[in-house]
Chains A and B, each alone.
Chain A
Amino acid sequence: MTIEKRPNATADKNAPTQAPDRAPMVSPGTGPKLPGPPGVPGTERFRLLAYVKQESMVRVDKRPDETLLTWPHLLRAEFLMAMLISGLLVVTSLWIQAPLEEMANPAVTPHVAKAPWYFLGLQEILSYFNATVAGVIVPTFYLLGLAAIPFIDRTPFKAARDRKLMWVFFLCLMLGGLLVTLIGSFFRGPGWNWVWPWEGLFFNL
């Protein structure tokens, strides 16, 4: 139930003219008339303007619920995450030793020469295709394709069912990349031959 207080003197533009020589803003016939002498304190009248249900009330005036203050809510979240990651990093670094092999020697090729892990997908593709295709066209297409996503998909809809094509495209890039990277990382051994992970792991971080 919403009741609006309408003091005659200030708010009610539909009330009869306060000054006799001034024309009413709305013709008197259209608005409800309020009796009573204008401008006299203690004689204001109240009337029912609208009846608004509770749920819609929330929707109408939702703003205070939508946002939080950055200090402390966001900063607390960030701080906790920073602490968590720092802790994780220190513990990992205490336990797991970063690899360091013998000094670089151009005269001795190791049996397995692999690029860093994020390029192993590319290296895997290089063993399938012509070098120009795999070495240049695929990575260029990959990066440009990623960058072009917002310019291909111009609709404002975000739900997955409204952008099926983009999802397929993106998943192809991601899962395809993941697949060849995994194969290149864990299933390739000396001579780039197929090796099952349990037969030997040829992978360096």
Chain B
Amino acid sequence: MNAVMRFIKESALWRSLFRQPYPNTSRTRALAVMNNVFLHLHPVRVKRHAVRYTYTFCLGGISFFLFLALTVTGLYLMFFYVPSVSRAYQDIQAIEASVAFGTLVRNMHRWAAHLMVLTVFLHMIRVFYHGAYKPPREFNWVVGVILLFLTLMLSFTGYLLPWDQIAFWAITVGTQMALYAPLLGQESSFFLLGGIQVGQETLLRFYVLHVIAFPLIAAIFMIVHFWRIRKDGGISGPV
């Protein structure tokens, strides 16, 4: 057994993947964070209070984690969903009735989406509480507000997709608000709905926005958001 493990660990393949032994010294731990593309979102060292749950309550981290969970569950759902007025509702029913773990995945997607709206709001309140929008972090606060808006838009566009009565009327009422814009209200509503009222065009538009456009834009802003945290000197200090 040990011989096999040793053989694997000394193979060229393994060593090309892992450039150093398991990180258990300060040096290798620093290298592990620095050399890994995913871990290097983090600095090598963090401030002591940044690790305390009661400082951040992990709200930003939870929001990001929920975004990832939503991406995965959303990808699963996409395999069984056609954004067509005649099929969408039946597809949701089929996901619930005949797809293995279908109900679970749909429920997870829906609850994670609601939870994400909540955690993003709470994250903003936490950041305000610590005055973490103060210079040099002004720009990152603005990016955060944009991300809040994108989160709402992601949730809103997803709300229509089950094509049931809740979805249809919630979106009808929600998009009607756009009509009240003093300039181009009618045009923007027409553009958003792809027509005069919620219908097939709306479903397709919302689907495309929900599964690719908004996630992509949100991901770009998230990269900026995380990058700026590091460039602005890491997580803010206590009040």
A106-157 contacts to B, CB under 8 A, are: 106, 108-110, 113-119, 122-123, 126, 131-132, 134-136, 139, 143, 146-147, 149-151, 153-157
> Across the interface, do A101 and B39 meet the contact criterion of CB distance under 8 Å?
no
> Across the interface, do A68 and B46 meet the contact criterion of CB distance under 8 Å?
yes
Task: For A147, list chain B residues within 8 Å (CB).
Answer: 141-142, 145-146
Contact of A156 among B32, B104, B135 (CB under 8 A): B135
Instruction: Report if B156 contacts A (CB, 8 A).
Output: yes
> Across the interface, do B165 and A75 meet the contact criterion of CB distance under 8 Å?
no
Task: For A75, list chain B residues within 8 Å (CB).
Answer: 39, 42
Task: For A43, list chain B residues within 8 Å (CB).
Answer: none
Task: For A170, list chain B residues within 8 Å (CB).
Answer: 128
Kindly provide the distance from the CB of B46 to the nearest chain A CB, expressed in whole angstroms: 5
> Across the interface, do B48 and A65 meet the contact criterion of CB distance under 8 Å?
yes
Instruction: Report if B62 contacts A (CB, 8 A).
Output: yes
Kindly provide the distance from the CB of A163 to the nearest chain B CB, expressed in whole angstroms: 7
The total number of A-B Cβ pairs within 8 Å is: 199
- Complex: how many Å from CA A81 to CA B125? 19
Task: For A102, list chain B residues within 8 Å (CB).
Answer: 164-165
Q: Which of B11-19, B171-179, B211-219, B220-228 contacts A (4 or more CB under 8 A)?
A: B171-179
Give the residue name and chain of the B residue nearest to A97 (CB). B107
Q: Which of A23-31, A50-58, A84-92 contacts B (4 or more CB under 8 A)?
A: A84-92
> Across the interface, do B112 and A81 meet the contact criterion of CB distance under 8 Å?
no
Q: Are A204 and B166 CB-contacts (below 8 A) given A70-B39, A98-B111?
A: yes
> Across the interface, do B197 and A106 meet the contact criterion of CB distance under 8 Å?
yes
Contact of A150 among B26, B50, B111, B138 (CB under 8 A): B138
> Across the interface, do B96 and A100 meet the contact criterion of CB distance under 8 Å?
yes
Instruction: Report if A77 contacts B (CB, 8 A).
Output: yes
> Across the interface, do A69 and B166 meet the contact criterion of CB distance under 8 Å?
no
Instruction: Report if B33 contacts A (CB, 8 A).
Output: yes
> Across the interface, do B165 and A108 meet the contact criterion of CB distance under 8 Å?
yes
- Complex: how many Å from CA A139 to CA B130? 25
- Determine chain B's interface SS by DSSP, over half rule: helix
- Complex: how many Å from CA A15 to CA B92? 88
Give the residue name and chain of the B residue nearest to A71 (CB). B29
Q: How many residues of B contact A (CB 8 A)?
A: 84
- Complex: how many Å from CA A160 to CA B129? 8
> Across the interface, do A158 and B163 meet the contact criterion of CB distance under 8 Å?
no
Kindly provide the distance from the CB of B67 to the nearest chain A CB, expressed in whole angstroms: 12
Contact of A115 among B58, B173, B180, B239 (CB under 8 A): B173
Contact of A81 among B43, B62, B108 (CB under 8 A): B62
Contact of B163 among A66, A68, A104 (CB under 8 A): A104
Instruction: Report if A205 contacts B (CB, 8 A).
Output: yes
Given A106-B168, A150-B137: 13 more A-B contacts, CB < 8 Å: A68-B46, A69-B29, A74-B50, A75-B39, A77-B51, A81-B53, A89-B69, A104-B165, A110-B165, A135-B177, A135-B178, A153-B133, A163-B131
In the assembled complex, 24 residue pairs joining A and B whose CB atoms fall closer than 8 Å, in A order, are: A66-B48, A67-B46, A70-B46, A81-B61, A85-B65, A86-B69, A89-B69, A98-B110, A100-B162, A105-B165, A106-B168, A115-B173, A122-B177, A132-B180, A135-B179, A135-B180, A149-B141, A156-B135, A157-B131, A158-B130, A158-B239, A159-B239, A160-B239, A170-B128
Q: Which residues of B contact A (CB under 8 A)?
A: 23, 26, 29-30, 32-33, 39, 42-48, 50-51, 53, 58, 61-62, 65-66, 69, 85, 89, 92-93, 96, 103-104, 106-108, 110-112, 114-115, 117, 124-125, 128, 130-131, 133-135, 137-138, 141-142, 145-146, 148-149, 152, 155-156, 159, 162-170, 172-174, 177-182, 185, 197-199, 236-237, 239
